[in-house]
Chain A
Amino acid sequence: EAQVTQNPRYLITVTGKKLTVTCSQNMNHEYMSWYRQDPGLGLRQIYYSMNVEATDKGDVPEGYKVSRKEKRNFPLILESPSPNQTSLYFCASRQFLPTGTGVEDTEAFFGQGTRLTVV
């Protein structure tokens, strides 16, 4: 079954304690990304990765790090979490398929979400 798996689903932590949220996909997708969802603001992109060792900032990257050492994994790292990083986080992956004239964008698959609370 095609899926994106995030862990943990729920996490309560204290300010300044480093944490990692893992994301893994089994579809061999090149493109992966992280989003946070806050009330009234919708999904905002934190970081994205176009392939192994290729990452770039999204719209709200401050306070986050990512790595892409393997195609299937794209962990989100909070080196020193703060209360304003309390949010619902989603990982997603998708594929760009080669066509005769370029590449075709395809649907994204989302993980189950991680609800993070920083106190």
Chain B
Amino acid sequence: ILNVEQSPQSLHVQEGDSTNFTCSFPSSNFYALHWYRWETAKSPEALFVMTLNGDEKKKGRISATLNTKEGYSYLYIKGSQPEDSATYLCAPSGGYQKVTFGTGTKLQVIP
């Protein structure tokens, strides 16, 4: 089982604040890194799939960076809105093999 760590476990931010969280994973046997957004009572939804060291992806106010050599990825949310409240999961993939999810960062945006 891969050791995937996400930090912080939870955080509360005020509406309009920008925030970021971290996903750490073993750098060996890396294939891809997935980020998902998971709202309460819904299913996880894909945000990004990243593969290249130094890669940066953006979707609206959310962006992510990837460092495969040191084994970490950052997720940034600019100008947080209440609808951003969710748990954000990262999952490194070894290709066709098992996928291991982190326990997630639970974000609460306070209006």
| Residues of A participating in the B interface, judged by any CB pair closer than 8 Å | 31, 33, 35, 40-45, 48, 50, 58-59, 90, 96, 103-113
Rounded to whole angstroms, the CA-CA distance of A104 and B45 in the bound complex is 19
A90 with B44, Cβ < 8 A, contacts A31-B96, A48-B98 known: yes
- Identify the 6 closest CB pairs spanning chains A and B, nearest first: A107-B46, A42-B103, A105-B32, A110-B43, A43-B101, A110-B44
A50 and B98 contacting across the interface, CB-CB below 8 Å? no
A59 with B96, Cβ < 8 A, contacts A40-B103, A108-B34 known: no
A59 with B34, Cβ < 8 A, contacts A104-B51, A110-B44, A113-B43 known: no
| Residues of B participating in the A interface, judged by any CB pair closer than 8 Å | 1, 31-32, 34, 36, 43-46, 49, 51, 89, 91, 93, 95-96, 98-104
What are some 19 contacts across the A-B interface (CB < 8 A)?
A35-B101, A42-B102, A42-B104, A43-B44, A43-B89, A43-B91, A45-B100, A48-B98, A50-B96, A59-B1, A105-B32, A105-B49, A105-B93, A105-B95, A106-B49, A107-B34, A108-B44, A109-B46, A110-B44
Residue of B nearest to A96 (CB): B96
Which residues of the partner chain A approach B36 to less than 8 Å between Cβ atoms?
Answer: 108
Given contacts A42-B102, A48-B98, A90-B44, 17 further A-B contacts (CB under 8 A): A40-B103, A41-B103, A45-B98, A58-B98, A59-B1, A90-B43, A96-B95, A105-B31, A105-B32, A105-B93, A105-B95, A107-B46, A107-B49, A108-B46, A108-B99, A110-B43, A112-B43
A59 with B43, Cβ < 8 A, contacts A105-B31, A105-B32, A107-B34 known: no
Q: What's the nearest-Cβ distance from chain B to residue A62, in Å? A: 14
Q: Which of A33, A41, A110 contacts B99 (CB 8 A)?
A: A33
Which residues of the partner chain B approach A48 to less than 8 Å between Cβ atoms?
Answer: 98-99
Q: What's the nearest-Cβ distance from chain A to residue B59, in Å? A: 11
Which residues of the partner chain A approach B31 to less than 8 Å between Cβ atoms?
Answer: 105
